[in-house]
Amino acid sequence: MKIEQIYTGCLAQGAYYIESKGEVAIIDPLREVQNYIDKANSDNAKIKYIFETHFHADFVSGHVTLAEKTGAKIVYGPTAKTNFDALIAEDNQVFQLGDITITALHTPGHTMESTCYLLKDKEGKDHAIFSGDTLFLGDVGRPDLAQKGDITEADLAGFLYDSLRNKVMTLADDVIVYPAHGAGSACGKNLSKETVGTIGNQKETNYALRADMSKEEFIKEVTDGLLPPPAYFPLNVKLNKEGYKDIDDVIKTSTKPLSAKEFEFIANETGAIILDVRHQTEFIKGFIPQSIFIGIAGGFAPWVGALIKDINQPILLVSPEGKEEEVITRLSRVGFDNVLGYLEGSFETWQKSGKEIDTLESISAETLANKIENNQPVFDVRKPGEYASEHIEVAESTPLDFLNDHISEFPKKEKFYIHCAGGYRSVIAASILKARGFHNVVDVAGGYGAIKKTEIQRTAAVCPSTLK
């Protein structure tokens, strides 16, 4: 028996490759599937099943493409409805894989079709549970992403409590937990940085599995402090339910080099967003006017999904040379398939053509100290929890996720200063503000990490886990 966790850091997502006696199961595959096929080929094995723990909201799964390429059966849990051929498992249905078995455990709560998969070894002993978004390490899946009809998030949280108590917490302490996500995912609020744990460890450390917790307490704690989900979540669910284009076709169509003249013409004719994915230090020095910066060196795909509301939005890329296909692949993982091409030779091509460029003013944290003494406004674009735990005393909270809700708060003429934790999100925010005509925005390089090394007055630090 072989179990391999294939973890994709930029999505904080874990897919799983399981092999036994020449038969393979893939759980929650990413959209690009060749890696799984290559693994099976190297094991001289055949992919038999593709298990989906639920309709994912934060990425486009590879289930449809993988089934088309391998003939493997897609398996969902009870109540799932799809536009493609799939096996809708019954609760406790057993699937044979080589000399091991995988049992579907219907665990509604995160979504109604959510299902965990329990792997038993060849002796029939419970070995591991692939817990999807039902159980994370340190948290459970948020119950507010798929509300429909009369079902409220409190109803879903109640279902989740029952699922955990009756299907998961009854397992032995040594059963390994393989979750679908780790820290950084928007599918929970307190996920651990660890990506593999045990049932016993989670009973001791996960607030949601506290032994003396009532259902009412669980519902209150799980639903408290949830931020609105990113806009692309329901659109990714729709793709995962209805199907989508093969990612190889998307890459072939989108990887189109454009001269500066062609790039400018298409931008003007289509209204495409110019997405600059270079490092923020390069972007600051010079970029195409109206560009939006979201660098591939940060939380790229989730920020694209959070800030570009429509996955069908036409996009033109300014990418580091040689990274174009990787960028297009990462965009497609969250459903953004409408890339019209990229600037061949990257930003240098634009500069050499003599076309207009823009720059972003950026200052050090030490310089910011002087500006604060002169009462110039400062805005903090970190998440509300980060701000609540510690911030510059005079800074206003304008989280990047909800920047549109704060546009009216930014000065139109007076210079103002924005920072995040390390200098990535603040440049994203600055690029959006400049595209909207706020050319008086100034970035603080190094963010709060650099600010903490200065004498700038800050609030007392509060441990984030104690905040409500």
Angle, helices 34-42 vs 63-70, to 10°: value is 40
pTM of the model: 0.90
pLDDT averages per 10-residue partition of the chain, 468 residues: 94 96 98 97 98 96 97 97 97 98 97 97 98 96 74 93 98 98 82 94 96 96 85 92 94 97 97 97 97 95 91 97 96 96 98 97 96 93 93 97 94 96 97 97 97 95 63
What's the CATH class of domain 2-234? alpha beta
CATH number of 362-466: 3.40.250.10
Measured at the alpha carbon of residue 61, what is the angle toward residues 45 and 193, in degrees to the nearest 5?
Answer: 95
Residues spanned by CATH 3.40.250.10 within the chain?
245-353, 362-466
The whole-angstrom separation of Cα 322 and Cα 250 is 17
Residues spanned by CATH 3.60.15.10 within the chain?
2-234
The whole-angstrom separation of Cα 415 and Cα 249 is 46
Q: What is the pLDDT of residue 464?
A: 59
CATH topology of domain 245-353: Oxidized Rhodanese; domain 1 (3.40.250)
Nearest to 327 by CA among 254, 400, 260: 254
Q: What is the pLDDT of residue 210?
A: 95
Burial (0-12, 13-18, 19+ Cβ within 10 Å), 247: buried
CB neighbours of 354 closer than 8 A, spacing ≥ 6? none
Q: 427 φ, ψ to 5°?
A: -70, -35
The whole-angstrom separation of Cα 128 and Cα 122 is 13
The answer to whether 270 touches 298, Cβ cutoff 8 Å, is no
Q: What is the pLDDT of residue 150?
A: 76
Q: What is the pLDDT of residue 147?
A: 55
